[in-house]
């Protein structure tokens, strides 16, 4: 038919063009294909399809290194369908017919890719960062990197001197602060002046009791007679509410020094009164003897004896 003849002519032109462009080693197989096409045309065997020589030429052409060097065939998963050709006329024997073309034909879109490749490196480092320099803060002795160990003692002595001076200064400041804080809590000068009182004993007659003011409280000083002394020393401690001997309450038997505040509710007792000739509290009726011991009434304890001393025979210092 006309269509088949057109296909043959186009295929012949294509093969001739490839023969001219390929090298000498590839030209001979293509020419051999052209000769085989002429021989098959002379045979005019109707049992062989007319497209078979052209298909074989395309398969052999696909095997050439020139064509395979510039193309890339991607095979699909589809199988080639074989169509049976019904030949008209007398059947003839087909010699040497093999199915070697269908497996070599490209079955998908031909794609070509090209490009350049080569090794490359990326340096992830910064070269514009400056190293900090602390030379302004360092001493001249340690600025040298090659300083010998012989100068280590000198540098250590300077360090120890500075640390020791700082410790001494800190201790002195702390001592001053503590002294100031403690002195602020101490008594004032006028209170300290009243803390002690000096009394001349020659001004107190025998058998009398004199009242003085000491630290805001009444102070009783009694010049006892020999009879009172012997009487108070003879009292048995087992009969007393607050047991104390007379020797425990006085340093000099002639002189009794006590604070004139009742141990019951803080009233001031009256001297030379009461059932025992000592002191009497008119508030609730507490009776004390000439040694200041409670003998009768609600008071629980004896009169308080302050600290005192006799620097001289006729002088007593209380406090």
Who has greater pLDDT, 217 or 189? 217
The pTM for the full model equals: 0.41
5's CB contacts (< 8 A; 6+ apart) are: none
- In this model, does residue 288 exceed pLDDT 80? yes
26 flagged as catalytic: no
Candidates 126, 223, 284, 287; catalytic one: 284
10 Å Cβ neighbour count for 95?
Answer: 7
CA distances from 203 to 108, 153, 166, 206, 212 (A): 145, 77, 61, 10, 13
Assigned fold of 197-318: Rieske Iron-sulfur Protein (2.102.10)
Q: Can you tell me the mean pLDDT for 94-98?
A: 52
- In this model, does residue 8 exceed pLDDT 70? yes
- In this model, does residue 171 exceed pLDDT 90? yes
Percent of the chain at pLDDT > 90 equals 11
Torsions phi, psi for 194 (to 5 deg)? -85, -5
Average pLDDT, the chain: 75
Domain parsing of the chain, residue ranges: 2-70, 197-318
Whose structure tokens read 């007398």? Answer: 90
């Amino acid at each position: 038919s006309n269509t088949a003849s057109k296909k043959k002519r186009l295929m012949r032109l294509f093969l001739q063009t490839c023969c001219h462009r390929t090298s000498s080693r590839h030209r001979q197989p293509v020419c051999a294909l052209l000769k085989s096409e002429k021989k098959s045309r002379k045979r005019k065997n109707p049992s062989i399809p007319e497209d078979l020589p052209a298909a074989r030429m395309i398969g052999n052409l696909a095997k050439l290194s020139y064509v395979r060097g510039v193309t890339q065939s991607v095979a699909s998963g589809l199988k080639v369908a074989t169509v049976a050709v019904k030949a008209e006329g007398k059947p003839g024997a087909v010699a040497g017919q093999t199915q070697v073309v269908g497996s070599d034909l490209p079955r998908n879109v031909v794609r070509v890719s090209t490009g350049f490749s080569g090794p490359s490196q990326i340096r992830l480092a910064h070269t514009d960062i400056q190293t900090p320099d602390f030379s302004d803060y360092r001493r001249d002795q340690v600025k040298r990197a090659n300083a010998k160990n012989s100068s280590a003692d000198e540098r250590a002595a300077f360090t120890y001197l500075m640390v020791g001076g700082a410790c001494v200064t800190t201790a002195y400041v702390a001592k001053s602060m503590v002294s100031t804080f403690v002195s602020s809590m101490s008594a004032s000068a006028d209170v300290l002046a009243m803390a002690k009182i000096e009394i001349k004993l020659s001004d107190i007659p025998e058998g009398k009791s004199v009242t003085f003011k000491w630290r805001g409280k009444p102070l009783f000083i009694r010049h006892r007679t020999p009879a009172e002394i012997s009487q108070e020393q003879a009292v048995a401690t087992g009969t007393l509410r607050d047991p104390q001997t007379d020797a425990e309450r006085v340093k000099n038997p002639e002189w009794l020094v006590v604070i004139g505040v009742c141990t019951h509710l803080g009233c001031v007792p009256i001297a030379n009164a009461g059932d025992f000739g000592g002191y009497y509290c008119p508030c609730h009726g507490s009776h004390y003897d000439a040694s200041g011991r409670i003998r009768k009434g609600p008071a629980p304890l004896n009169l308080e004896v302050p600290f005192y001393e006799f620097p001289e025979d006729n002088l007593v210092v209380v406090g």
